[in-house]
Amino acid sequence: MAARSSTRRPFAWTKKELGESVLPERRRLAAALQEICRHLVVTTQEGATLTHPTQAQAAEYLKVSETTLTRYLQGQRVPPDQVVAFIFDTACQNAGGSQNVGITWEEMRDLHIRAEQERCGNCSRHREAARTAGQKLRALQETHGQLERSAAERDRELRELRQRVTVLKQETHRMRATQPLPVAEAGPQKVREAARAASLLPVPRREGDRQQSTNETVAARYVGRRAEELLRGGRPDNTLALLRHTAEASTPTEVALLVTLLRSQEQDDLADNLVHIYARDRHDQDVVRTALILHERQAVADAEVLLRTAAAHPGSALSRAEKSGPPR
């Protein structure tokens, strides 16, 4: 005996509105599912036949949840193959044959295949977009890592330069403190003591202090090697800063050795800059000593340029020293 499930308009629940985001092939499949569900006749466990079942009764009859059935009919989800086949076979059986449901199984299967392909194509586009975004992210991370490594390397080089300047300044102060007092400034007693010491040690001081000469040579070689490394690395600002610190903290012997070393390595631009900076920034007494050492080492041209440059900047270093001193 057939019975109606409610007084509502029959199969009103099958007429679902499809959202604007539902893709075209999904729309066609959802419309076909809505149509064949209108042919369902539900037989309850008590034996009652419901020719116009509710959505809840139809969902239980089709062995799916009511929410899942809603998503199928709204095109939000594409049902699996076996679910589509089960819904179609059940509707055909209830309607008395496939000719009564308005669509053949081949047409229904074709709609389902197209909806599946449309979903997979959309997923492929999302996967491609995600892959491209991942590649960009990895590239940005690699660039960020390179910048961090470059910054760390620059910080390390700067610390090395500062440590080297500190060592050079300490060595300069030590050697200046141990230099003997010139004869012109010493009293009669100090002159006699210097003469007595000279008679006991006839070796000249410049040639006798081998440890000092070795230290100055090592210092000059270090600065020359470091300047060459910075120049090869494309860092002219750091190279110029190193030359300025060297001109400020090095002894006349170290500067003369460094100039000759740079000339031997064909680093003429570095040598020219060092000579110019040293002659401009150091006291005349240091400049003269350096020029004398260069002349002794057959670097006559550099000695001449050093003196001429110092003459072109008279009193520059002395003026700065006087300004920094206490007022008279």
pLDDT band at 41 (very low <50, low <70, confident <90, very high): very high
Write phi, then psi, for 258 (nearest 5 degrees). Answer: -65, -40
**pLDDT tens sequence across 241-267:** 877 887 788 888 888 888 888 888 888
DSSP state of 120: H
pLDDT score at 91: 93
Length of the chain: 328
Write phi, then psi, for 4 (nearest 5 degrees). Answer: -90, 145
Q: From CA 149, how far away is CA 155, in angstroms rounded?
A: 10
What mean pLDDT, rounded, does the chain reach? 78
**pLDDT tens sequence across 283-314:** 888 889 999 998 888 888 988 888 888 888 76
CA torsion through residues 240, 242, 245, 251, sign: negative
User: Taking 50 as the threshold, does the pLDDT of residue 29 lie above it?
Assistant: yes
User: Taking 80 as the threshold, does the pLDDT of residue 226 lie above it?
Assistant: no
Tokens 């020029």 sit at which residue? 291
**pLDDT tens sequence across 74-111:** 999 999 999 999 999 999 999 998 899 989 999 999 99
Residue 110: strand, helix, or coil: helix
Q: From CA 311, how far away is CA 288, in angstroms rounded?
A: 11
pLDDT score at 247: 76
Tokens 């040598």 sit at which residue? 271
Read off the pLDDT of each residue in 135-158 and give the average, rounded to a whole number. Answer: 89
Q: From CA 128, how far away is CA 96, in angstroms rounded?
A: 47
Single out the residue of 72, 90, 80 nearest to residue 29, CA to CA.
72
**pLDDT tens sequence across 151-192:** 998 888 888 888 888 888 887 788 777 755 444 444 445 434
pLDDT score at 24: 92
Tokens 């000339």 sit at which residue? 263
